[in-house]
Structure 1
Amino acid sequence: MKAPTLDARLEAVLELIRADVHADIGSDHAKLPIRLLREGRAERCVVVELNPGPLALARRNAARARLAGRLEVRAGDGFAPLVPGEVDSASLTGMGAGTVAGILRRAGERLPPALVVQPNDSPRPLRVWAREHGYHLTAERLIPGYWPYPVLRLERRDGPDPAYAGLPSAAALRYGPHLLREGDNLLDEQVRADVARLTPLAAPGRTAQTELAAALAALAVLEGRGEGG
């Protein structure tokens, strides 16, 4: 079986993973772990899939890849099929941020020291979770597609996350501290679109007002006028 092709968002996930033992949670087709093993980015991978259809597909693809002893497919929910300390890295992709955060909250001592997550909506809940649970945001990407796909790498480290230093907190949590500092073009488009969308909706006490304030603070950073916060 030749190395499987990944779409742009999963290629971005692939590039942020390097581990001895990696778990792909909710893998669906197992293509990402197969590529990780083929490219030497992981020595061993564990695929976890809950739903019967994707589980069967993952098992078929794993068998065809002929990576016996290095690739294992397990049925189960989230990190439950893993033993604490078994993996040193995990990925969760193609789900809503709330779903991903719920899986991480239930993982307990099974959580590995490194995570790569790709939610299909705003990653803010995952940035908040990371800051509350001792994970630093060490890298992030925004990948064009049906909508902009965020990809985040989180690593367990001591102390406050330096990625947020000197940035307006609400803007950094919503849009991403690394992306704001890099002046990512796709993020710039997203922030300006948010400002245009939220401006006519904003009024004191409304959610749109809070969201607009974060968008305007992000825009100030992108334009080089951010004063920090």
Structure 2
Amino acid sequence: MTLPLSPVLDARLQAVLELIQAQVHADIGADHAHLPIRLLLEGRAQRAVVVELNPGPLAQARRHVVRAGLDGRVEVREGNGFAPLQAGEVDSASLTGMGTGTIVGVLQRAGAKLPPVLVLQPNDSPRSIRQWARVAGYHLMAERLTPGYWTYPVLRLERAAGPDPAYLGLPEKAALRYGPHLLREASPLLLQQVREDIVRLAPLAAPGRNAEGELATAHEALRVLEGSE
């Protein structure tokens, strides 16, 4: 009996994989479909829906799903964002490898189709994702930083009522910029990032400029991180 082909994931997608456990998971903008394939092969999801807009990656995703022997459990749909899904069809969704602004735009347009769990991997600062989550009724349950071409953040959000307890007792601007869980864990990658931000911002931080506020936020984060060491 031939075993299904198990694709290799890079560090950022491996971090995403480890934050997903679902019955039915949707991977939005799935590209090659390696993530949903691994989710099913490892028992982290029972079924998956792959959504891809571009014809080339869409065809590639379909080939990879068939090659893995999962075409009965993974459905590949053409479309933009959550548009090809029905409300309540999936209980978890991931968006990876996109800019933060693109991810927030997709989430804002999803409306009632948003599932109760989201795992997101933006390619830049996730501050606006954290801000969106607080307004949209999602709590930040876990965060990861992974090395790569640059440092990639990964966030797991879960729908919940009331204020998000992850931010309690932390300076708000620093927590939104750098991540409350990462600050509490004193992530070495985050510590390196914050110190690099301070070096980069210090010469730009004239009074009244945006860099002045960003530098103050970085110093707040550094105090939390150094206090956690």
* TM-score in terms of structure 2 length: 0.97
Distance 1:69 1:60 in 2: 13
Alignment of 1:2-21 (within 5 A): 2-21=5-24
Alignment of 1:66-77 (within 5 A): 66-77=69-80
1:56 matched to 2:59? The reply is yes
1:124 matched to 2:162? The reply is no
Task: Return the offset for 1:134.
Answer: 0.4
**Paired positions, count:** 225
Deviations 1:201-225 (A, max 9, x none): 0022111011111101000101118
Which residue is equivalent to 1:98? 101
Distance 2:197 2:71 in 1: 48
Greater shift, 195-204 or 28-37, is seen at 195-204
Contact kept? 2:142, 2:155, Cα under 8 Å: yes
Distance 1:45 1:210 in 2: 43
Distance 1:51 1:209 in 2: 41
Moved over 3 A (4+): none
Distance 1:209 1:80 in 2: 41
Task: Return the offset for 1:68.
Answer: 2.9
Pairing partner for 1:210 from 189, 209, 213: 213
Distance 2:208 2:22 in 1: 46
Distance 1:106 1:210 in 2: 31
Distance 1:68 1:4 in 2: 15
Alignment of 1:109-120 (within 5 A): 109-120=112-123
What letter corresponds to residue 71 of structure 1 in structure 2? Answer: V
What letter corresponds to residue 216 of structure 1 in structure 2? Answer: H
Pairing partner for 2:188 from 178, 185, 191: 185
Distance 2:212 2:85 in 1: 43
Which residue is equivalent to 2:203? 200
Deviations 1:54-76 (A, max 9, x none): 11100111111111321000000
Distance 1:210 1:50 in 2: 38
Query: What are structure 2's unaligned runs of at least 5 residues?
Result: none
Contact kept? 2:46, 2:73, Cα under 8 Å: yes
Distance 1:110 1:35 in 2: 24
What letter corresponds to residue 152 of structure 2 in structure 1? Answer: Y
What letter corresponds to residue 175 of structure 2 in structure 1? Answer: A
Contact kept? 2:5, 2:67, Cα under 8 Å: no
1:46 matched to 2:63? The reply is no
Pairing partner for 1:163 from 162, 166, 177: 166
Percent identity, aligned pairs only? Answer: 72
Distance 2:122 2:59 in 1: 23
Secondary structure of 2:227's match?
Answer: coil
Task: Return the offset for 1:6.
Answer: 0.3
Distance 2:71 2:201 in 1: 52
